[in-house]
Each structure stands twice: as C-alpha cells, then as structure tokens.
C-alpha cells in the first residue's frame, strides 16, 4: 500500500532536509509539502497522509492552530502528527500534546532520532488501523445474519430508531416494507432445509439488489424480511415492493429446485401518516398490510390502511 508523509514548515531548507532524510530510508512513497498550517490543512484534506511532520512556529497559521483544525475533522483523527520546534518550552510541548500531537522533535534535529520517531508513529498507526479493522469486522459479525448476509433483527431496531428520528426531525418521509416467502415450509419439506437456506439467501440477495446505498435490508426471523427506505413515500415504496415481488417470481433456482417458483407477500407502510407516529406504529401498519396480502391470495403487495373520515 502506498504511504504518504506531509511536511509542513515555513523553511524550504527544513522541508528539504526532512524529506531527504526520509527518502534515504525509504519509509514513504509520496512526499507532500506545505509552507504553513493553513496550506498544510488544505493539503491534508485533499490528499490523505499517513503521517504529518509540522513546525510549531509559522506565519499565517502556526502548528497549534493546525492541530485544532485537524481535531475538528473526524476523518483526520488518527493521523499521527510529529511537531517540530526550536523552543525548549515544556509548556508548549504539553499544549501541543493535549491538542492532538503524537510526538515532538526539537530543531535542529538529529536525523537518526527523526527516523526513529517516525518509525514508532508509523508502527502505532499500523496497530491502530489493524485494531480498527478488527473492531469493524466484529461489529459486522454482531450485526449481520450469517445465512443471508443482511442485517439481523437486533440491528434492525437500531436502524429503525435512527431513521425514524431523522425523518421526524427533518420532516421527511420514511417507508417500511415487510415481506415473507409464501409457503416456505413446503420448500423445506420438499427439498430439505439445506435447499431452503439456498432459497432464503437468494431472496435476500434479490432484496439487496433492489435497494439504494442508504436503504437497509434485514432478516427479521425465519422467512420474514424488512426493508427500511428513507426519503421515500408510499407510492415509491410500493413500486420498490412490486419490483422485488416480480424479481423473486422470475428467479430460477439450481437443481433440484429448477422447477420451483417462489413468491413473496409484502406489506408497505409510510411515515408521516395519521396512523403512524412512532416506530412501533409504523411497523404495525406494515405488518397488518402483510397480513392482508396473505389473506388476499399471497404473491401481492398491500399497503397500510388509512382511517376513513
């Protein structure tokens, strides 16, 4: 993987010395330069660096203000920053460390010490990146249904709470689709549970393909699934549900299920509505619509019922 260092110093001589020293030991592939904190911050935003070496005392914007800007941007947190200073001022060093600096180096610096400190910070960053990946994987394993690769029921509750809060705050629409596979027990009884799992996985993949990047799909339990569709009203959600119903109906399965036709029944509900004022009522309205779809013959889409005036 390509690594990049950003050197920020108002002295072209210092920048050249730092870059030449690091090039000699081959720690980075890309070398970026900036003359002050403001230019450095803009460069860091445009071209993500793996490590920053920044002078403290610079015109226009010094190193402390640069640290404050970096701290204000979540996507830059975790980038190690080694501060260069010509001052033996312990208060300034403490101030910098408190504001997010990873280490300090006093000018004029020893090239061996510079390389050693850079190596330490790169090692720490590598360990932090590995830990972050492990935590993301653990979170995914915790939130994902392993058979279908959709979100699980527990994480669905978090998604719904967050999306409903956002819709209510921003006065936006939020739709919910609940569906299940018709006569799924017959699939298991006829072809066995292993082939039944193939059907579940295939339907889940079809559902996932119908969604936009910011929609969510979850396996609610057994053969029942839930789709969360932010920013979409009832008509748009019904169209999405109908596309999914048709996709499942037309899907072909591998042997020994090559002659199997699978259908789904779907219920759709939307916020805001006179009968929807919470996550629970939104879910209940969609579930009631799903029940009507089954009562009315299955393989169909039904929408939430509205109160009659």
Q: Are 286 and 267 in contact (CB under 8 A)?
A: yes
Q: For the sheet with 81-85, list strands across it.
A: 30-34, 4-8, 51-55, 81-85, 103-106
Query: CA–CA separation, 50 vs 82, rounded Å?
Result: 12
Return the DSSP state at 296.
T
Is 223 assigned a catalytic role?
A: yes
Task: State how beta strands 264-271 and 301-303 pair.
Answer: parallel
At 105 the three-state DSSP class reads strand
Among the listed residues 223, 242, 250, 258, the single catalytic one is: 223
Strand pairing class (224-230; 174-181): antiparallel
CB 280 within 8 A of CB 192: no
- Distances in Å between the Cα of 97 and the Cα atoms of 67, 80, 82, 120 are 10, 11, 10, 16
- 3-state SS assignment for residue 174: strand
DSSP code, position 64: H
Residues with a catalytic annotation lie at: 223
């Amino acid at each position: 993987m390509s690594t990049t260092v950003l050197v920020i110093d108002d002295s072209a001589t210092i920048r050249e010395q730092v870059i030449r020293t690091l090039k000699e030991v081959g720690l980075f592939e890309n070398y970026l330069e900036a003359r002050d904190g403001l230019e450095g911050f803009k460069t860091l935003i445009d071209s993500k660096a793996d490590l920053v070496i920044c002078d403290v005392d610079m015109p226009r914007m010094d190193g402390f203000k640069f640290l404050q800007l970096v701290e204000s941007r979540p996507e830059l947190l975790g980038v190690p920053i080694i501060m260069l200073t010509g001052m033996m001022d312990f208060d300034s060093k403490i101030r910098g460390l408190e504001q997010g600096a990873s280490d300090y180096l006093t000018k004029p610096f020893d090239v061996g010490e510079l390389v050693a400190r850079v190596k330490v910070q790169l090692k720490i960053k590598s360990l932090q990146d590995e830990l972050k990946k492990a935590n993301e994987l653990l979170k995914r394993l915790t939130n994902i249904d392993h058979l279908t690769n959709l979100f699980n029921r527990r994480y669905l509750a978090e998604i719904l709470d967050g999306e409903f809060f956002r819709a209510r705050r921003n006065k936006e629409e939020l739709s919910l689709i609940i569906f299940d596979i018709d006569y799924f027990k017959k699939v298991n009884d006829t072809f066995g549970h292993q082939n039944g799992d193939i059907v579940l996985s295939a339907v889940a993949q079809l559902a996932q393909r119908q969604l936009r990047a910011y929609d969510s799909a979850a396996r609610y339990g057994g053969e029942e699934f839930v789709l969360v569709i932010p920013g979409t009203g009832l008509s748009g959600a019904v169209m999405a549900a109908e596309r999914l119903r048709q996709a499942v109906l037309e899907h072909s399965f591998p042997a020994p299920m090559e002659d199997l036709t699978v259908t789904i029944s779907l219920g759709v509900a939307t916020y805001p509505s006179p009968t929807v004022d919470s996550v629970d009522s939104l879910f209940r309205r969609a579930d009631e619509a799903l029940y009507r779809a089954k009562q009315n013959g299955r393989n169909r889409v039904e929408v939430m019922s509205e109160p009659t005036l």
